[in-house]
């Protein structure tokens, strides 16, 4: 029997799903959303708050302040509620109703940014609001997920070792990029451990993280309108971008097989499949992707036919078959050879 005394003590289910029967490739998906926060962000939230406590940054009257499109906001809400801390989440209008309601139920104050910055989009507008709050009141403490080393450290110490524990001979790792915390923590651990795995970073079309021009995006989670300070593209062998249309179609494809995952997961899996179709047509590579979130918070968007039709048209309701070619932005060679 496993017993915990705080919700953030459970961050890893060590559950992998073999997607070969569904998608035809030797692709395992590490499920990071089976915790009280419903996403991988509970790891980062717990790590950053623990670091703030070790550094004696939190006082009795401190108010945590953070910018989030949703998942980290929920994770911080859970830990703040458990520890009796005040928390203000600065989000924007793309934050879906279920996520916002979850944070409010946990006692979080929500500040919703309604207009994007002309150059830096909603993210810059949120960051400007956070900085203003901290300047106004020294009780406000910004953990700053975008540059906090405890963010990537959580995945160096937890996510990546778990993958290599169960899949030591993995040939390819696919990881999504938002703040860059998960991606960089895993990349650094894989390199330091001596793993031969090819590292593929996956982002969404419209994000500036891979040096492409910004475009409007509807699905919160992966991607950024401001270059994330943590992310180092040279740490990866390949960079792949996925359209939001393919994210929607992939999520709905998995749902038809009983697996309800979130938008970030859909993007990573779609990117993995597109890459594998192009570079592993013989299906010999053993690969794993990190599934950051579950799908219950997307019921009014990705899984709502009306929302999909309004934003993506009838194509959004079509399963992701046949697979589209990967939008590969960076590819190093040669390909790694499978072991055994």
pLDDT per residue as tens digits for the range 128-160: 999 999 999 999 999 999 999 999 999 999 999
Output the pLDDT for position 340.
32
101: CB partners within 8 A, 6+ apart: none
Domain ranges of the chain: 7-36+149-331, 41-142
Same fold, 7-36+149-331 and 41-142: yes
Q: Name the band, by pLDDT with cuts 50, 70 and 90, for residue 325.
A: very low
Architecture of the structural domain at 41-142: 3-Layer(aba) Sandwich (3.40)
pLDDT (average), residues 316-331: 62
The mean of the pLDDT values for the chain is: 90
- In angstroms, the CA 262 to CA 296 distance is 7
Task: Provide the 8-state DSSP code for 303.
Answer: T
pLDDT at 336 over 50: no
* CATH code matching the domain that covers 7-36+149-331, chosen among 3.30.9.10, 3.30.300.20, 3.30.70.1230, 3.40.50.1100: 3.40.50.1100
| Least confident piece of the model among 123-127, 193-197, 284-288, 324-328 | 324-328
94: CB partners within 8 A, 6+ apart: 69, 122, 217, 218, 219, 220
**Tokens 């590969």 sit at which residue?**
328
- In angstroms, the CA 255 to CA 267 distance is 14
Spatial CA neighbour of 146 closest among 42, 224, 239: 224
Output the pLDDT for position 14.
85
pLDDT per residue as tens digits for the range 236-274: 999 999 999 999 999 999 999 999 999 999 999 999 999
The burial of 282, by beta-carbon neighbours within 10 Å (0-12 exposed, 13-18 middle, 19 or more buried), is given as: exposed
208: CB partners within 8 A, 6+ apart: 214, 224, 225, 226, 227
What stretches of 117-207 adopt beta strand conformation (E)? 140-142, 172-176, 198-204
pLDDT per residue as tens digits for the range 92-101: 988 888 899 9
């Amino acid at each position: 029997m496993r017993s915990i005394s705080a919700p953030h003590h459970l961050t890893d289910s060590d559950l992998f799903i073999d997607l070969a029967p569904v998608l035809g490739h030797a692709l395992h998906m590490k499920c990071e959303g089976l915790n009280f926060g419903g996403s991988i962000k509970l790891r980062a939230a717990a790590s950053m708050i623990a670091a703030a406590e070790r550094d004696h940054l939190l006082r009795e009257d401190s108010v945590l302040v953070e910018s989030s499109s949703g998942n980290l906001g929920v994770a911080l809400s859970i830990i703040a509620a458990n520890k009796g801390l005040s928390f203000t989440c600065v989000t924007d209008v793309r934050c879906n109703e279920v996520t916002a309601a979850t944070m409010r139920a946990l006692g979080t104050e929500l500040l919703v940014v309604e207009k994007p910055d002309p150059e830096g989009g909603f993210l810059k507008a949120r960051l400007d609001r956070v900085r203003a709050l901290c300047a106004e009141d020294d009780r406000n403490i910004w953990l700053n997920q975008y540059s906090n080393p405890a963010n990537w450290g959580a995945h160096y110490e937890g996510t990546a070792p778990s993958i290599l524990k169960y899949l030591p001979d993995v040939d390819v790792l696919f990881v999504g990029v938002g703040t860059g915390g998960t991606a960089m923590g895993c990349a650094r651990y894989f390199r330091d451990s001596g793993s031969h795995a090819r590292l593929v970073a996956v982002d969404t079309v419209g994000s500036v993280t891979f040096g492409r021009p910004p475009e409007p995006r509807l699905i919160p989670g992966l991607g950024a309108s401001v270059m994330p300070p943590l992310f180092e593209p040279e740490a990866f062998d390949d960079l792949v971008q996925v359209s939001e249309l393919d994210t929607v179609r992939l999520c709905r494809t998995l749902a038809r097989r009983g697996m309800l995952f979130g938008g970030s997961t859909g993007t990573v899996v779609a990117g993995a499949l597109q890459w594998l179709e192009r570079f592993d047509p013989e299906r010999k590579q053993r690969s794993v992707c990190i599934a950051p979130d579950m799908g219950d918070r997307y019921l009014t968007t990705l899984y709502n036919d009306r929302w999909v039709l309004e934003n993506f048209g009838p194509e959004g309701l079509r399963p992701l078959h046949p697979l589209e070619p990967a939008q590969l932005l960076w590819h190093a060679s040669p390909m790694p050879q499978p072991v055994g």
